[in-house]
A and B are shown apart, each in its own frame.
Chain A
Amino acid sequence: MLTIKNLHASIDGKEILRGINLEVKAGEVHAIMGPNGSGKSTLSSVLAGREDYDVTEGEVIFNGKNLLELSPEDRAREGVFLAFQYPVEIPGVSNVNFLKTAINEIRAYKGLDPMEAKDFLALVKEKQKLVELDGKLANRSVNEGFSGGEKKRNEIFQMAMLEPKLAILDETDSGLDIDALRIVAGGVNKLKSKDNATIVITHYQRLLDYIVPDFVHVLYKGQIVKSGTKELALELEEKGYDFIKEEIGA
């Protein structure tokens, strides 16, 4: 589904990603871990198409398309979803209106008619349950006045509504208490299928107790320096990132 080859990216002339290689297949969950400043969030931003970053080398193929040539909105329409580390507030725009616009834009891209109002509302009702989101939140302005946990749940709610092929969760566990973590992870697990894939970016192993990855990759200084199965995450938790540094002789 997603093939990243020798990806280099920089911001303001400073190179952050220094040759990332990654292969994600449908049905898989990949976790990307790493210490602060290793380039985790840069990777998610580059994949989503944030314009602040310059891709200097490498390629990203998503379902046969050159992802880097697509605009951010077209990437989203092709099925790339980013759950933001810091979800953005849009005052005065209701969640429902926001999602209806998004869904219909994606449908238009695929040559489909706008969704019928009643089908849309039924979908909202169904997906809200997934993340135990209060019905009132759906009618409130996008993320405005939401608590940290509500914002993250709202991200997963949006993900459920948009049904992406590839979901990238950027530090979705940050700022969550244990109950919220359970709800968010539960939502993600329920959305998992053999046709979609998830990349979980996290600093801590904690989230991986709930969203069990098929593969774990350690990002360090802009490169994936070690890959393994979920046991690697436990090892990291136990020994800290220092052991990686030692292993690669940094």
Chain B
Amino acid sequence: MANEILEEHINSDYKYGFVTDIESDNAPKGLNEDIVRFISKKKNEPEWMLEYRLKAFAYWKTLEEPNWAHVFYPKPNFQDIIYYSAPKPKKELKSLDEVDPELLKTFEKLGISLEEQKRLSGVESRIAVDAVIDSVSVKTTFKETLSEKGIIFCSFSEAVQEHPELIKKYMGTVVPHTDNFYAALNAAVFSDGSFCYIPKGVRCPMELSTYFRINASGTGQFERTLLVADEGSYVSYLEGCTAPMRDENQLHAAVVEIVAHKGAEVKYSTVQNWYPGDKEGKGGIFNFVTKRGICLEDNSKISWTQVETGSAVTWKYPSVILKGDNSVGEFYSVAVTNNYQQADTGTKMMHLGKNTRSTIISKGISAGFSNNSYRGLVRIAKGASNARNFSQCDSLLMGDKCGAHTFPYIEIKDKSGIVEHEATTSKIGEDQLFYCKQRGIDTEKAIGLIVNGYCKEVLNKLPMEFAVEAQKLLAVSLEGSVG
């Protein structure tokens, strides 16, 4: 009975699947040294940046695509991808009026305001936005307000031009170009992304956010984000992603680096809703991302929160290197897979400093024919005395054709370390559904309630406006997938 309902209903609508008709300026298909030079030239980059790219490209050529993740997909043909695509015309934009109205419409449809005043339920809500479409950043809001406090928030390309000393100092220090296949690829061909620097002792007065949008066909998106929180500063950063519905698989290989200095705190939240492919598993984004932060000095804190509902294949482990003493790393994750989606996601917590603490809360939800894996590593290095970790990995299954897998790795080299790991796997029970229905709540609403309840610990960590969005997204992603 349950399966009939399941099969009948699996077809959630992806409301971000539209394509914007804008002219774009593309690089020729394929990848070679000339393409790397082409991208660098397009961005008018200094010599040192080009050298960095070429070094990464040379290294990438020596690598093979990793295959250890529990995901199965046709290997991308790296010569069949367009590595640079920019909406035309790309010129210096002085105000919003100069932004292509088609682009503005795109972001309006996505519910993202590029206007600097945005009212939400009567309260003025101020979120600074950096909007990245395909390979370039099209607009960053609130720059002036932020710069009064000495905060730098701009596109990565702009940072290369305006703040080369900071880019040189920090880029590649957390995720070196030698880190892995996709990190090397990104280092060679990355086109844009966001850069953020919070100076000493400054509490960033608003949420900073970047919205990534893949629009052009046949392109890959390779963005790079670098966040530096100087001594005693605080910032909360949001990231959202969507893409049009296309039959082809598109590659998204991003790198995010976070550096937290002494006593600094960074909260990084992601709502990832790349196009997941259709219900037969055709199309969708390959989301191969390297995200890592380092608590460089004492008493710093980095917290990752992610709600992952999109992408055909996800391969992502936002991690924290706990180098400073008393530093704290957190990872809160909800990963939903439906239809033929596959996700292999989790975190790494590397305890190097004394009295370092980490918390991992992972909630996987699988429906349809999907596969959802948690993969996590907790490493306590020798000398990292009194390190503590708590991990909780829960899996929720809907229906009987999906899979949930847990791959926890624990390496403890210091005797004083304490690691706790809890894991549960449950099914949305017929009993729970019937109980809700007997109280007058229909199946769809009941699933929404049950799933949101299950993810509550993670959703509570998201900033208010994002949390509301995420709750809706969860309900939509699982629409009809009754177990």
**A binding-site residues for B, Cβ under 8 Å:** 48-52, 71-73, 75-77, 81-82, 84, 87-93, 97-99, 101-103, 105-106, 109, 141, 158, 162
Contacts and interface: CB of A to CB of B under 8 A. Distances in A.
18 contacts: A51-B430, A51-B434, A72-B437, A73-B438, A73-B442, A73-B443, A88-B432, A88-B434, A90-B435, A90-B436, A90-B453, A92-B452, A92-B453, A92-B455, A93-B452, A101-B449, A102-B440, A162-B439
Interface of B: 1, 429-432, 434-443, 445, 449-450, 452-457
A73 B437 contact: yes
Contacts of B449: 90, 93, 97-98, 101
Nearest to B424: A91
A76 B453 contact: no
A171 to B, nearest CB: 16
A161 to B, nearest CB: 9
Given A93-B453, A98-B449, A101-B445, A88 B440 contact: no
Given A92-B455, A101-B445, A162 B435 contact: no
A88 B432 CA distance: 6
B440 A76 contact: yes
Given A92-B453, A93-B450, A162-B439, A72 B432 contact: no
Contacts of A88: 429, 431-432, 434-435
B432 A90 contact: yes
A50 B434 contact: yes
Given A90-B432, A90-B449, A101-B445, A76 B454 contact: no
Contacts of B438: 48-49, 72-73, 75-76, 81-82, 84
Contact of A77 (B436, B440, B452): B440
A162 B454 contact: no
A93 B445 CA distance: 12
A106 B440 contact: yes
Given A71-B437, A98-B449, 7 more contacts: A48-B438, A51-B434, A52-B1, A73-B442, A76-B439, A89-B432, A105-B440
A49 B439 CA distance: 12
A158 B441 CA distance: 13
A38 B186 CA distance: 69
Contacts of A93: 449-450, 452-453
B431 A105 contact: no
Contacts of A72: 434, 437-438
A109 B442 CA distance: 11
B364 to A, nearest CB: 15
